[in-house]
Amino acid sequence: MSDLTDREIHLAGARLAWSEAGSAEANGVLLVHGFPLHGGMWRDQHTALAHDYRVLAPDLRGYGRSTLGDWPDDATTLGRYADDLAALLDAAGLESAVVVGFSMGGYIALEMLRRCPERVAALVMMDTRVIADDEAGRAGRLKMAAHAAEWGAKRIAGMMRPKLLASDASDEAVQQTLGQIESADPAAIAASQLAMAARPDSTELLGQYAGPLLAIVGEHDEISPPDEMRGFAQAAPRGEFVEIPGAGHMAPIERPTAVTDTLRAWLARI
């Protein structure tokens, strides 16, 4: 098993931290976590993939060991996270990496494709969506952003829980997921919700993506439905689709081995 090394850079006003494992000469894999989690969500995939790849798992701005920095409400977009990840690749000396985006991480991966496609060697969209929010979804995000400080992360974890995990998820998967959410900074939660609410539809962008694309989703995912993910995978020139039996939205935590094996098999082929 490879050990994880903690690294960080300082960008204007913020510390951006990541954990890294694997050989410095190997191809890069960037694991981008979901909302409102941190890079530790990739625990199982990180060490397993590091046998063959140089694997970087950042804590996005405001999460885990990274600080939110100076991020005014009226300038909140997912582009800020994408720019951070490009800076992280620079600091790591990687021209590009396979970008694996889980849920909000997938929205950010799309933003990288829009802003710096040359940094995306291949793309994994995991339990995520390509379309923008509908009006009700956007309103829900704005409400949570406005009340995050008052509600606190524990209440938010309770609100999110019903849609996150399959009904028979293990206690460990439940604890890992809720523990991460409960430790999140309400200010980071608010910033992410504003950014996600403002994200554009990326259907056309992904439909024109000519690189290797893998879509992975839990069979019972209620947030990013399998049929929707199959659709965008099939629309992309090199898209492939894999459903993880028995998992909900948190597939990499609920069914870590199945997700890791799927990633390894696909990475070895591309």
* Interacting residues with ligand MLT (CB under 6 A): 34-35, 103-104, 196, 223
Residue in the structure block whose two tokens are 């439905």: 225
Which residues lie closer than 8 Å to 174 by C-beta, 6 or more apart? 161, 165
Nearest approach in angstroms of CB 132 to ligand MLT is 11
Select 50 or 166, whichever has its Cβ closest to ligand MLT: 166
Nearest approach in angstroms of CB 102 to ligand MLT is 7
Residue 32 neighbours by CB distance under 10 Å: 28
Select 223 or 270, whichever has its Cβ closest to ligand MLT: 223
Query: Quick check: 85 and 32 in contact, CB under 8 A?
Result: yes
Here the tokens at position 225 are 């439905």
Please report how the helices 104-115 and 78-92 are oriented relative to each other, as an axis angle in degrees rounded to 10: 70
- Spatial distance between the Cα atoms of 245 and 205, rounded to a whole number of angstroms: 29
Select 94 or 214, whichever has its Cβ closest to ligand MLT: 214
Select 174 or 223, whichever has its Cβ closest to ligand MLT: 223
76, amino acid identity: T
